[in-house]
Structure 1
Amino acid sequence: MTTAAARYPVRVRGRLDPGLSRWLWLVKWLLAIPHYVVLAFLWAGFAACTVLAFFGILFAGRYPRPLFDFTLGVLRWTWRVAYYTYGALGTDQYPPFSLGPEPNYPAALDIAYPEHLSRGLVLVKWWLLAIPHYLVVGIFLGGGGYAASQAGQWAYSAGGGLVGLVALFAGVALLVTGRYPRGLFDFLLGMDRWALRVAAYAGLMTDAYPPFRLDTGGDEPGVTTIDQEPPPPPSSGWTGGRVAAVVIGALLLGTGSLVSAAGAIGLWAHSTQRDADGYLVAGTKSFHSSGYALSFGAIDLRWTEARWRIAEDWLGEVRLRADDDVVVGIGPADDVARYLEGVEHDEVWPAGAEVDYRHQAGGPLPVAQPAWAASGTGSLTWRAEQGTWAVVARNADNGKVVDTELSARATVPALGPVSTGALLGGVLLVSLGGTMLLIAAMHAFERRRTTSPEAVDSEQSSED
Structure 2
Amino acid sequence: MTTITSPTPHRMNARHMLALVAGVLTGAAAPTALAYDLSPLITIAAVLVGVALIIVGATGLGGSIGGAPPAARKVSVEGVLDPKLTRWMWLVKWLLAIPHFVVLAILWIAFVVVTVAAGFAILFTGRYPARLFQFTNGVLRWNWRVAFYANGVLGSDKYPPFTLARTDYPATFEVEYPTALSRWKVLFKSWLFALPHLVIVALVTGGTWAAWTGGHGETLSLLGLLLLLAAIILLFTGVYRLGLFNLIMGAHRWMYRVFAYTALMRDEYPPFRLDPGALEK
Q: CA deviation at 1:157?
A: 7.1
What residue is the counterpart of 2:161 in the other structure?
A: 96
Q: How does 1:192-203 map to 2 (within 5 A)?
A: 192-203=252-263
Equivalent residues of 2:149, 2:160 under 8 A apart = yes
2:175 alignment partner AA: I
1:46 alignment partner AA: F
CA distance in 2, matches of 1:110, 1:151: 22
1:17 alignment partner AA: D
CA distance in 2, matches of 1:48, 1:25: 33
Determine which of 159, 171, 174 is the counterpart of 2:234: 174
Equivalent residues of 2:207, 2:218 under 8 A apart = no
Q: CA deviation at 1:191?
A: 0.2
Equivalent residues of 1:151, 1:202 under 8 A apart = no
- State TM-score, norm by structure 1: 0.44
> How has the CA–CA distance of structure 1 residues 183 and 156 changed in structure 2, closer, same or farther, with 3 Å as cutoff?
farther
What residue is the counterpart of 1:134 in the other structure?
A: 198
Q: How does 1:40-189 map to 2 (within 5 A)?
A: 40-102=105-167, 104-143=168-207, 153=213, 160-189=220-249
Equivalent residues of 1:16, 1:90 under 8 A apart = yes
Greater than 4 Å deviation, 4+ residue runs: 154-159
CA distance in 2, matches of 1:88, 1:157: 17
Q: CA deviation at 1:163?
A: 1.7
Q: Which has the higher helix share?
A: 2
CA distance in 1, matches of 2:211, 2:157: 25
Q: CA deviation at 1:205?
A: 0.3
Q: CA deviation at 1:140?
A: 2.1
What residue is the counterpart of 1:21 in the other structure?
A: 86
CA distance in 1, matches of 2:173, 2:185: 24
> How has the CA–CA distance of structure 1 residues 216 and 120 changed in structure 2, closer, same or farther, with 3 Å as cutoff?
same
1:140 alignment partner AA: V
CA distance in 1, matches of 2:207, 2:219: 11
CA distance in 1, matches of 2:212, 2:259: 6
- State TM-score, norm by structure 2: 0.71
Q: CA deviation at 1:69?
A: 0.5
Q: How does 1:60-459 map to 2 (within 5 A)?
A: 60-102=125-167, 104-143=168-207, 153=213, 160-221=220-281
Q: Any unmatched runs of 5+ in structure 1?
A: 222-464
Q: CA deviation at 1:18?
A: 1.2
Q: CA deviation at 1:156?
A: 9.5
Q: CA deviation at 1:154?
A: 7.5
Alpha-carbon RMSD: 2.4
Q: Secondary structure at the match of 1:122?
A: helix
What residue is the counterpart of 2:104 in the other structure?
A: 39
> How has the CA–CA distance of structure 1 residues 22 and 154 changed in structure 2, closer, same or farther, with 3 Å as cutoff?
farther
CA distance in 2, matches of 1:157, 1:78: 17
Q: CA deviation at 1:159?
A: 7.6
Q: Secondary structure at the match of 1:27?
A: helix
CA distance in 2, matches of 1:155, 1:162: 17
Q: CA deviation at 1:21?
A: 0.4
1:16 alignment partner AA: L
Which structure's relative contact order is higher, taking Cα pairs within 8 Å and 6+ residues apart?
2
Q: CA deviation at 1:27?
A: 1.1
Equivalent residues of 2:82, 2:155 under 8 A apart = yes
CA distance in 2, matches of 1:50, 1:107: 24
CA distance in 1, matches of 2:216, 2:179: 32
